[in-house]
Chain A
Amino acid sequence: MKRLAGSILCIAAVLIAGPHAVSAMTIEKIVSPSGIEAWLVQEKAVPLVALNYAFHGGATQDEPDKGGTANLAIDMLDEGAGDLDGKAFHERMENHAIELGFQVGRDYMHGSLRALNEHREEAFDLLRLALTSPRFEAGDVERVRGQEMAALQRDTTNPNDLASRRWWETAFPGHPYGRETKGTLESVPRITADDLRSYVRRVFARNELKISIVGDVDAKTAGELIDRAFAGLPAKNDLKPVANATPSGLGRRIVINVDVPQAVVTFGGQGIARQDPDFMAAYIVNHILGGGSFSSRLYREVREKRGLAYGVSDSLVWFQRAAVVLGGTATRADRTADALAVIEEEIKRMAKDGPTPDELAAAKSFLKGSYALTLDTSAKIGAQLTQIQIDNLGIDYIQRRGTLIDAVTIEDARRVARRLYSGGLLVTVAGRPKGLTSSGTE
């Protein structure tokens, strides 16, 4: 391979081990020859490299009347770049079993790469082409736009999409967080190839770039690979600022009529910022209320005891400029009102009394023990490390996390439960729920 000059400086290395280790891995902070920082986990068991990275600037960067721009841009990145047309680009990927993934969220563009060791240089070269010189040729743009329009059209009768879309529009009117990242049937046709180029030019830059790399690769080689893909990017991004926001419409219920046998419910309210000192307490309390396990209060009351739904859960969702608690369920039309009443009652009860000490202890135990399960594949480790960088939690966060959880007292939990669940809910329902109508003022 082509050797690049410069040295790799190892700034910090955190070994996660010991009696209560979540993982035996070591995270190194490395700096590439051109000065790009990344977190590295060397893992020799499987001969592959997994890269995960994020650029600040997602769908929030779309013009208000051109929602879906970032989404369309990233969908086009592997449809032809540099001197390769889409067909040639895909052939190069397939010939070497290279995987490139691109995703756009509200605040960030997330990317991933996976390659076998023998093809990793080719993989990082293709990534460079995709990030620095996507072609956005007219015919390709129209084809991909057509696919996205077809999907949006299909969503117009999809109850999940209808309930979710209305929830976000109502919670964040006029704010970028109120728009779906994929845009609308009205906005997507307005997007031009220049808009796509502008997105790439403004967002794909070296500052605010978060990189995690996991695999059978040493620090020096990792730095060289990173430079292959990212060194040619502009030094600084050019982002439109995003205003702070809090969800509005709390206390409202909106029913969207659509002819489906089962009504889909989205509910949510004010959340908690990731940097808030109460975040961990809130995270634990919400796990007890409606987190993913089979023992949450909502799961027990709505599903186990009453059989009202197949699934019900809620979670904390945080952005750079807002935070919400968001949940959902799907129930038969003649029992939707019952299910909603149970959910609202459970939320009220949690706000009033908080969790019991037993529930708190069980939740802490779960959240500590289950963390290792989010770190058992290269791709999962990469994604987790990138998120920790985005959230600015520090390279030792994985090590500190258990202590942060243990530090939450029952008093903290009660106080934070009150804070988190007293603000009221915005509820959207898509379907034909019996006896349930829109209510509350706009």
Chain B
Amino acid sequence: MLANKCVVALALILVFATPALAAEQAGPEIADFTLANGLELVVIPDHRAPVITHMIWYKVGAADETAGKSGLAHFLEHLMFKGTAKNPAGKFSQVVARIGGQENAFTSQDYTGYFQRVPSDQIKTVMEFEADRMTGLQLTDDVVLPERNVILEEQNQRVGNNPRARLSEQIDAALYLNHPYGKPVIGWRHEMEELSRDDAIGFYRRFYAPNNAVVVIAGDIDPAQARALAEETYGKVARHAALAPRIRPQEPPPVAVRSLTLADPRVEMPAMQREYLVPSFATATRGESEALEVLAHILGSGSNSRLYRALVVEKQVAVAAGAWYDASALDQSKFGVQGSPRPGVTLPQLEAETDAVIAQVIDKGVTDEELERTKTRLIADALYAQDNQASMARWYGAALTTGATVNDVRHWPDRIRAVTADQVRDAARRWLDKRRSVTGYLIKDVSPQAEKRS
């Protein structure tokens, strides 16, 4: 119901856990080329239905904001719907609606994306509009100020009203000591309230350009046709002469076990969440990211995972338990572990039991049976993905804006297949070190002043 123009949450858990096809598998022939102005295009043909998913991914996200302007990348995403000299506010959306299309946009730490899903004979129309707003955006306070209220309400809806989201925000802030990944994508409210038209336009001029974007087109179209249309539309936009490299302040080696507690009066179910600082696909040495992927699956995905079996089924100390890993980040990423205790079990008890499960993997590794089952599941996901053109477009777009290539995505199943039990154990040993982590407790705030909070 309330899903328009969204922030991609920090944990895009399965971006890499479900993409692509093995080279030897009979998937679509994917084309990848770059126009003279530096715009990269990826075309994923799928002729089953007469529809196309068209996405443009800018290589800019919340982590590229200057200090003090948190939320700006996402604010600009909203403002991109406010019109250009050629196409006044609302025209693009009206045309998309009239042709029966769907549209939306999203922002993460590393990318900002816009997409339309349209009947295939309308693809050129949306490419023209999208090329126009790549450099033609015009903003006045009349549209900027109400939209700032909209993002503040979005912050309330996503975070303010949601204790778990508040906990995640605090853990991220504590995990990243130096890197901007510690700031929420949606922003800190006190900074969001001050964002201006000039901030947005300045950010836009700095980062929105053909040589800082990837267009992914999936659906009922051939690469040659896509290329011709792209030349006619995007090809006319001038490249950005002085695009700065994406260099963010990096993390120092983590040395302290950190923990925090967030008390909120609305908490009815306490929770424990931990995040470890770990390599992303882009920062990992070869095979390490894939081993973390397999590790997260064995440890905490589904009801036969280690954590679920031990904590929920056998020891019955938790009602929920799981783990996840986010491979798609330009800089160092996160490995998460979470659980909710059964009534009568304390969070420290749950944490101790969780630590015991992790310690066992570090000590004894994983079984061949677990390894095989996990690989089957992950590799099958890549095949299932081919059934959904929009998912395919998202996976390629996210990969290409976080330091991976089309070939990396294509060969992902091969790399998963190559993961050994020793690599999984070594990944656990090396990266699931508590000194690399922040553990957060979410508890109910029962203090009297809680009532006054607004």
Binding site for B on A (CB under 8 A): 21-25, 43, 45-48, 50, 86-87, 90-91, 94-97, 114, 116, 143, 146-147, 150-151, 153-159, 258-262, 264, 293-295, 299, 303-313, 315, 328-333, 362, 365-373, 375-379, 432
A261 interface neighbour in B96, B146, B160, B219, Cβ under 8 Å = B160
| B contact residues around A375 at 8 Å (CB) | 49
User: Are B380 and A97 closer than 8 Å at their CB atoms?
Assistant: yes
Give the nearest-CB partner of B152 in chain A.
Answer: A332
B100 interface neighbour in A23, A24, A368, Cβ under 8 Å = A368
Give the nearest-CB partner of B301 in chain A.
Answer: A94
B49 interface neighbour in A305, A362, A376, Cβ under 8 Å = A376
User: Are B340 and A330 closer than 8 Å at their CB atoms?
Assistant: no
How many A-B residue pairs have C-beta atoms within 8 angstroms? Tell me. 209
B337-396 residues at the A interface, CB under 8 angstroms: 340, 342-343, 372-373, 376-377, 379-381, 383-384, 386-390
User: Are B50 and A372 closer than 8 Å at their CB atoms?
Assistant: yes
User: Are A143 and B388 closer than 8 Å at their CB atoms?
Assistant: no
User: Are B1 and A313 closer than 8 Å at their CB atoms?
Assistant: yes
Chain A's nearest CB lies how many Å from the CB of B143?
8
B12-30 residues at the A interface, CB under 8 angstroms: none
B97 at the interface (CB under 8 A from A): yes
B117 at the interface (CB under 8 A from A): yes
B140-156 residues at the A interface, CB under 8 angstroms: 145-154, 156
Tally of chain B residues near chain A (CB < 8 A): 76
User: Are B100 and A114 closer than 8 Å at their CB atoms?
Assistant: no
| A contact residues around B100 at 8 Å (CB) | 365-373
User: Are A366 and B320 closer than 8 Å at their CB atoms?
Assistant: no
| B contact residues around A156 at 8 Å (CB) | 268
User: Are B4 and A311 closer than 8 Å at their CB atoms?
Assistant: yes
User: Are B312 and A143 closer than 8 Å at their CB atoms?
Assistant: yes
Give 8 A-B pairs besides A293-B102, A311-B4, A366-B98 with Cβ atoms closer than 8 angstroms: A45-B47, A96-B376, A97-B379, A97-B384, A150-B319, A259-B450, A330-B161, A369-B98
A294 interface neighbour in B97, B157, B343, Cβ under 8 Å = B97
B94 at the interface (CB under 8 A from A): yes
**CA distance in complex: A97, B382 (Å):** 11
User: Are A21 and B50 closer than 8 Å at their CB atoms?
Assistant: yes
B386-421 residues at the A interface, CB under 8 angstroms: 386-390
User: Are B319 and A146 closer than 8 Å at their CB atoms?
Assistant: yes
| B contact residues around A294 at 8 Å (CB) | 4, 81, 93, 96-97, 103
13 A-B pairs whose Cβ atoms sit less than 8 Å apart in the complex = A46-B386, A48-B383, A147-B312, A261-B156, A293-B93, A294-B97, A307-B146, A311-B3, A333-B454, A371-B100, A376-B49, A377-B389, A378-B387
10 smallest CB-CB distances across A and B, nearest first, come from A369-B100, A311-B2, A307-B149, A97-B380, A307-B146, A262-B156, A157-B266, A370-B100, A310-B154, A154-B269
User: Are A377 and B388 closer than 8 Å at their CB atoms?
Assistant: yes
| B contact residues around A379 at 8 Å (CB) | 387-388
Binding site for A on B (CB under 8 A): 1-4, 46-51, 81, 90, 93-94, 96-103, 117-119, 122, 145-154, 156-157, 160-161, 219, 265-269, 302-304, 309, 312-313, 316, 319-320, 340, 342-343, 372-373, 376-377, 379-381, 383-384, 386-390, 450-451, 453-454
User: Are B2 and A328 closer than 8 Å at their CB atoms?
Assistant: yes
| B contact residues around A378 at 8 Å (CB) | 387
Give the nearest-CB partner of A329 in chain B.
Answer: B2
A370 interface neighbour in B101, B149, B387, Cβ under 8 Å = B101
User: Are B4 and A307 closer than 8 Å at their CB atoms?
Assistant: no
User: Are A330 and B93 closer than 8 Å at their CB atoms?
Assistant: no
**CA distance in complex: A378, B381 (Å):** 14
User: Are A23 and B50 closer than 8 Å at their CB atoms?
Assistant: yes
Chain A's nearest CB lies how many Å from the CB of B186?
11
Give the nearest-CB partner of B94 in chain A.
Answer: A295
